């Protein structure tokens, strides 16, 4: 009998108790659920008054670049390649420093074509551009 009791005394446990791990996981989950909304809140700011109001846009201040799904560009109804678009925008910007470039890209087109126009604008100092979208339809 004594041998049997010694043998069972030397047997090691082959199972891991995961209860403390689950407790830790739930505590961390609760902490993240509570703190995440606090991190995403914006600041309630009351801005100071002053400065000049934005000037209204004149029709001459706007150039619209349309990007079609096949990757070609159009300005004022003329089909152009990227270099021609760049030249036209740079010339328009030199003539009018208040130039605002509207970029209208087809939703089925490639993003690289849109990024190329934005990149060319920034490289040439044209910092005012706007990506145009379709407003959502009421359901």
Name the nearest CA neighbour of 90 among 122, 58, 68, 59: 122
pLDDT of residue 14: 74
pLDDT of residue 123: 92
pLDDT of residue 118: 92
pLDDT of residue 134: 74
pLDDT of residue 105: 87
How far is residue 89's CA from residue 48's CA, in Å, rounded to a whole number? 35
Longest dimension (CA), the chain: 105
Identify each DSSP E strand in 11-85 by its residue range: 62-67, 73-75, 78-80
The token pair at 102 is 């509207």
What tens-digit pLDDT sequence spans the chain (139 residues)? 555 555 555 566 677 788 888 999 999 999 988 887 776 655 455 555 666 666 677 888 889 999 888 888 989 888 999 999 999 999 999 998 888 998 888 888 888 999 999 999 999 998 888 888 776 665 5
**Which domains are seen in the chain, by residue range?**
2-40 (no CATH), 59-131 (3.30.420.270)
């Amino acid at each position: 009998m004594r041998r049997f009791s010694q043998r069972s005394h030397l047997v090691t446990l082959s199972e891991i108790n995961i209860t403390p791990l689950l407790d830790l996981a739930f505590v961390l989950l609760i902490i993240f659920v509570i703190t995440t909304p606090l991190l995403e809140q914006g600041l309630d700011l009351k801005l100071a008054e002053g400065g000049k109001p934005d000037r209204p846009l004149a029709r001459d201040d706007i150039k619209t670049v349309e990007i079609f799904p096949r990757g070609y560009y159009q300005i004022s109804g003329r089909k152009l390649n990227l270099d021609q678009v760049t030249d036209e925008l740079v010339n328009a910007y030199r003539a009018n420093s208040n130039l605002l470039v509207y970029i209208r890209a087809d939703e089925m087109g490639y993003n690289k074509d849109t990024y190329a126009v934005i990149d060319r604008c920034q490289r040439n100092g044209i910092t005012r551009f706007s990506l145009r979208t379709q407003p959502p339809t009421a359901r």
